[in-house]
Amino acid sequence: AQKVTQAQTEISVVEKEDVTLDCVYETRDTTYYLFWYKQPPSGELVFLIRRNSFDEQNEISGRYSWNFQKSTSSFNFTITASQVVDSAVYFCALSEASSGNTPLVFGKGTRLSVIA
Amino acid sequence: GAVVSQHPSRVICKSGTSVKIECRSLDFQATTMFWYRQFPKQSLMLMATSNEGSKATYEQGVEKDKFLINHASLTLSTLTVTSAHPEDSSFYICSPKRTGTGAYGYTFGSGTRLTVV
């Protein structure tokens, strides 16, 4: 069975600090995809990244970076020099490729508050 | 591409009435539609999965007679909350899956905030 764990329920940082959001996943498939979404107060989900299980390269996009480690089943997300606009709930999600049209399985989310 | 329109964005209804939420994929076809529900400060919980032209499959604990899903076309699906009660107050999100795109096809509507008074 697939499962996504985001152990950090809430994190609060001061602006310009770096922050890492943890995500640990469980799956029996060898082919799977991992995602991160941002959910601001408006509620709309904003896609941040998708990574397949065969691509363990870390990725950087501006102030965002992701560290994918299959050995520890983790896909952590770091925001560098955080800003107030980064305040939101962040969800990690998993899709097993072998299962056809299956829904994403979401973690419980991490609420990030960036204080000016 | 991959524009999703979900309406209404907010609705307040009286207890006992029904509410219909519409989800349209404007520039793509979606054979599969997922409906999620999100209570305050909680994660997205899958309610049901529907394939165009077929009956929806509901998750355990979700009443199929209360949450009616219609997926009659590849670009439109509706969720009707029948005889709504205050405990149905939640944020409902549709997720049309773009046909033939695998893991690259997940999209989401902007959500409907339902308040039952």
- For the stretch A63-116, pLDDT in tens is 999 999 999 999 999 999 999 999 999 999 999 876 567 899 999 999 999 999
Residue B45 is encoded by which pair of tokens?
């919980």
- Chain B CB contacts of A33 under 8 Å are 103
Residue B39 has pLDDT above 80, yes or no: yes
What is the overall mean pLDDT for chain A?
Answer: 94
Rounded CA gap, A55 and B82, in Å? 45
Give burial (CB, 10 Å; 0-12/13-18/19+) of B104: exposed
Interface A:B, Cβ pairs < 8 A: 44
Reading phi first (left if > 0) and then psi (alpha if -120 to 50, else beta), residue B102 is in: left
Are the CB atoms for B8 and B91 separated by under 8 Å? no
Rounded CA gap, A4 and A95, in Å? 10
Residue B21 has pLDDT above 80, yes or no: yes
Interface with B, mutate which of A44, A51, A98 (most B CBs under 10 A)? A44
Chain A: residue whose CA lies nearest to B100: A101
* Half-sphere exposure in the Cβ direction for B79 (13 Å, CA): 35
Among B residues 35-74, those touching chain A with beta carbons less than 8 Å apart? 36, 38, 41-44, 46, 49, 51
- For the stretch B4-15, pLDDT in tens is 999 999 999 999
Residue A104 pLDDT:
93
Residue B76 pLDDT:
94
Closest CA to A57 of A70, A72, A73: A70
Residue B54 has pLDDT above 90, yes or no: no
The nearest CA of chain B is from the CA of A68 a distance in Å of 17
Classify strands A19-21 and A46-52 as parallel, antiparallel or unpaired: unpaired
Nearest to A107 among B36, B43, B103 (CB): B43
Residue B53 pLDDT:
85
State the average pLDDT over residues B30-47.
95
